[in-house]
Amino acid sequence: MMAAAQDSLYLGFDFSTQQLKVLAIDGHLNVVHQNNVQFDSELPEFRTRGGVHIHADRLTVTSPVLMWVKALDLLLDKMKRAGLDFSRVRAVSGSGQQHGSVYWRRGARETLKRLDPDQDLYQLLQGSFSVPDCPVWMDCSSRQQCQDLQAAAGGALRLAEITGSRAFERFTGNQIAKLRLTRAEQFQEAERISLVSSFAASLFLGDYAAIDYSDGSGMNLLDIRTRNWSEVCLEATAPHLDRLLGAPVPSTSVLGPVSSYFVHRYGFLESCRVAAFTGDNPASLAGMRLQQGDVAVSLGTSDTVFLWIQQPRPTLEGHVFCNPVDWQAYMALLCFKNGSLTRERIRNECAGGSWEHFSAALRDTPLGNNGNMGFYFDTMEITPPAVGVHRFDPDDNKVSSLSPQVEVRALVEGQFLSRRVHAERLGYSIIPGTRVLATGGASSNEEILQVLSDVFNAPVYTIDLSNSACLGSAYRALHGLVAESGVSFFEVVKKAPEPQLVATPHPAAQEPSAPTADSSDIT
Ligand code: XUL
What's the 137 CA to ligand 1 centre distance in angstroms?
Answer: 6
Are the beta carbons of 436 and 461 closer than 8 angstroms? yes
In this structure, the answer to whether residues 324 and 418 fall within a common structural domain is yes
Q: What is the C-alpha to C-alpha distance for residues 20 and 104, in angstroms, rounded to an integer? A: 20
Domain residues for the domain of 106 are 5-276
Asked if residue 482 is part of any domain, the answer here is no
In this structure, the answer to whether residues 170 and 317 fall within a common structural domain is no
Please, how many CA atoms are within 13 Å of residue 172, restricted to the half-sphere of its CB?
A: 28
- Among protein residues, the one whose CA lies closest to atom 7 of ligand 1: 137
Q: What is the C-alpha to C-alpha distance for residues 337 and 421, in angstroms, rounded to an integer? A: 16
What's the 56 CA to ligand 1 centre distance in angstroms?
Answer: 22
In this structure, the answer to whether residues 378 and 454 fall within a common structural domain is yes
**Helices 156-163 & 143-153, crossing angle to 10 degrees?**
80
What's the 96 CA to ligand 1 centre distance in angstroms?
Answer: 9
In this structure, the answer to whether residues 401 and 512 fall within a common structural domain is yes
What's the 170 CA to ligand 1 centre distance in angstroms?
Answer: 9
What is the predicted pLDDT for the residue at 514?
44
Q: What is the pLDDT of residues 77-107, one digit of tens each?
A: 999 999 999 999 999 999 999 999 999 999 9
**Which atom from ligand 1 is nearest to the alpha carbon of 16?**
10
**Which atom from ligand 1 is nearest to the alpha carbon of 280?**
9
Q: Which residues touch 221 (CB under 8 Å, ≥6 apart)?
A: 163, 172, 173, 229, 230, 233, 234, 237, 241, 245
In this structure, the answer to whether residues 101 and 244 fall within a common structural domain is yes
What's the 99 CA to ligand 1 centre distance in angstroms?
Answer: 7
- Among protein residues, the one whose CA lies closest to atom 1 of ligand 1: 98
Work out whether strand 228-229 and strand 222-223 pair parallel, antiparallel, or are unpaired: antiparallel
Q: What is the DSSP letter of 49?
A: B
What's the 94 CA to ligand 1 centre distance in angstroms?
Answer: 15
**Which atom from ligand 1 is nearest to the alpha carbon of 17?**
10
What is the predicted pLDDT for the residue at 432?
86
What's the 234 CA to ligand 1 centre distance in angstroms?
Answer: 22
Cα dihedral sign, 139-345-417-327 = positive
In this structure, the answer to whether residues 48 and 93 fall within a common structural domain is yes
| Of 249, 276, 303, the domain-final residue | 276
| Of 214, 243, 276, the domain-final residue | 276
CATH number for the domain including 21? 3.30.420.40
What is the predicted pLDDT for the residue at 519?
41
Q: How many independent structural domains does the chain possess?
A: 2
- Among protein residues, the one whose CA lies closest to atom 9 of ligand 1: 98
In this structure, the answer to whether residues 331 and 250 fall within a common structural domain is no
What is the predicted pLDDT for the residue at 188?
96
Ligand 1 mutation pick, 20, 168, 215, 281, max ligand atoms within 8 A of CB: 281
Are the beta carbons of 64 and 131 closer than 8 angstroms? no
Are the beta carbons of 366 and 312 closer than 8 angstroms? no
Asked if residue 266 is part of any domain, the answer here is yes
What is the predicted pLDDT for the residue at 444?
84
Q: Give the containing element (helix H, strand E) for 319.
A: strand 319-322
Q: What is the C-alpha to C-alpha distance for residues 441 and 301, in angstroms, rounded to an integer? A: 9
Q: What is the C-alpha to C-alpha distance for residues 24 and 379, in angstroms, rounded to an integer? A: 40
Ligand 1 binding pocket (C-beta < 6 A) is: 16-17, 97-99, 137, 170, 218, 279-281
What's the 23 CA to ligand 1 centre distance in angstroms?
Answer: 20
Which portions of the chain are predicted below pLDDT 70?
A: 1-3, 511-523
Q: What is the pTM of this model?
A: 0.91
What is the predicted pLDDT for the residue at 461?
95
Q: What is the C-alpha to C-alpha distance for residues 253 and 27, in angstroms, rounded to an integer? A: 19
In this structure, the answer to whether residues 254 and 369 fall within a common structural domain is no
Q: What is the 3-state secondary structure (H, E, C) of 57-106?
A: CCCCEEEEHHHHHHHHHHHHHHHHHCCCCHHHEEEEEEEECCCCEEEEEC
What is the predicted pLDDT for the residue at 268?
98
Asked if residue 469 is part of any domain, the answer here is no
Amino acid at residue number 522? I
Are the beta carbons of 235 and 178 closer than 8 angstroms? no
What is the predicted pLDDT for the residue at 245?
98
What's the 209 CA to ligand 1 centre distance in angstroms?
Answer: 21
What is the predicted pLDDT for the residue at 3?
59
- Among protein residues, the one whose CA lies closest to atom 5 of ligand 1: 97
Are the beta carbons of 198 and 215 closer than 8 angstroms? yes
In this structure, the answer to whether residues 244 and 307 fall within a common structural domain is no
Q: What is the pLDDT of residues 134-178, one digit of tens each?
A: 999 999 999 999 999 999 999 999 999 999 999 999 999 999 999
What's the 138 CA to ligand 1 centre distance in angstroms?
Answer: 8
Ligand 1 mutation pick, 280, 302, 307, max ligand atoms within 8 A of CB: 280
**Which atom from ligand 1 is nearest to the alpha carbon of 319?**
6
| Of 226, 246, 276, the domain-final residue | 276
Asked if residue 440 is part of any domain, the answer here is yes
Asked if residue 368 is part of any domain, the answer here is yes
What is the predicted pLDDT for the residue at 521?
43
